[in-house]
Amino acid sequence: MSTIVMSGCATGIGAATRQALEAAGHKIIGIDIRDAEVIADLSSAAGRQQAIAAALEQCAGTLDGIVLCAGLGPQTKVVGNVVSVNYFGATELMDAFLPALKQGYQPAAVVISSVASAHLPFEKNPLAPALEAGDEAGARAIVENAGEQGGNLAYAGSKNALTVAVRKRAADWGKAGVRLNTIAPGATETPLLQAGLQDPRYGESIAKFVPPLGRRAEPAEMASVIAFLMSPGAAYVHGAQIVIDGGIDAMMRPTEF
Ligand code: NAD
């Protein structure tokens, strides 16, 4: 049995992933705002530090894996929280858990990004300089002053910078023997997606985004890929972003990959 810390395990993709990993025999230490071993709010630096300290105590400083699912959608009321949870809620946890992962057996990490990470190139991502500099207040101010499109900017900008943050860690993590990958889900039937569909600003564009496979994904269809990435079968997969979107990306950007 291996020990895996997961964020965002209470609902949606995280809950399905927790189920899949537990069925495979792993012990999960969940971090979430509710229904988890560690209750913490990842939208603040203090909440993140509390989550890290409590999880490290529960695993006694040794981890075999981390899966970071916690995230907020573009419709979130306090739009700055999208940046805080999606970017800092993942990058700060990744970095803080690396020493514990180095002590683990065949350690691996999966971070949940999004197909939206490719909607905004890093060079044109207005959040990128602040996020890379660790300037949480600055990044929050940009999206909070962006008007009606602040939610989309916060979501696509934070997910783009998150995928880049993972890719930039591939060299060091690889040398440390810890595999690190992202998945980029397309529209998946979760509470986050339902809230987006019900939002008058974003609902229509989400609804008309129909992938070639003709339906949205089920959370279990993300969980099975995450479980594979965490398994020895994925021993040579490192620094990759696995797109799981029913073919949307191939349809929209056939020449870019
Ligand atoms: P969800 O809302 O069901 O799950 C999000 C989880 O994060 C929940 O367990 C929630 O309690 C937790 N969370 C939210 N705010 C938190 C906070 N401040 N502190 C601690 N935990 C917090 O949504 P989901 O769709 O399962 O999302 C999981 C991940 O997948 C997110 O990172 C999301 O951006 C990503 N994603 C989802 C879709 C989709 O269509 N559903 C598409 C692409 C990417």
Look at residue 95 and tell me if it is in a domain.
yes
Look at residue 35 and tell me if it is in a domain.
yes
Look at residue 257 and tell me if it is in a domain.
no
Q: Which of 87, 155, 202, 236 is catalytic?
A: 155
How does pLDDT run along the chain (257 residues), one tens digit per residue?
799 999 999 999 999 999 999 999 999 999 999 999 999 999 999 999 999 999 999 999 999 999 999 999 999 999 999 999 999 999 999 999 999 999 999 999 999 999 999 999 999 999 999 999 999 999 999 999 999 889 999 999 999 999 999 999 999 999 999 999 999 999 999 999 999 999 998 899 889 888 999 999 999 999 999 999 999 999 999 999 999 999 999 999 999 98
Look at residue 49 and tell me if it is in a domain.
yes
Q: Predicted ipTM?
A: 0.99
Please state the domain count of the chain: 1
- Asked whether the beta carbons of 17 and 227 are under 8 A apart, the reply is yes
SS3 labels along 97-165: HHHHHHCCCCCEEEEECCHHHHCCCHHHCCCHHHHHCCCHHHHHHHHHCCHHHHHHHHHHHHHHHHHHH
Query: CATH number of the domain that 15 lies in?
Result: 3.40.50.720
Pocket test for ligand 1, best of 5, 13, 111, 152 (most atoms within 8 A of CB): 13
Look at residue 253 and tell me if it is in a domain.
no
What's the domain range around 23?
3-245
Of 61, 59, 73, residue with least CA distance to 30: 59
Look at residue 254 and tell me if it is in a domain.
no
Of 153, 185, 164, residue with least CA distance to 14: 185
Q: Give the pocket of ligand 1 (CB within 6 Å).
A: 8, 10-14, 32-34, 41-43, 69-72, 85, 112, 114, 185, 187-188, 190-193
Q: Which atom of ligand 1 is nearest to the CA of 36?
A: 9
Look at residue 179 and tell me if it is in a domain.
yes
Q: Which atom of ligand 1 is nearest to the CA of 43?
A: 18
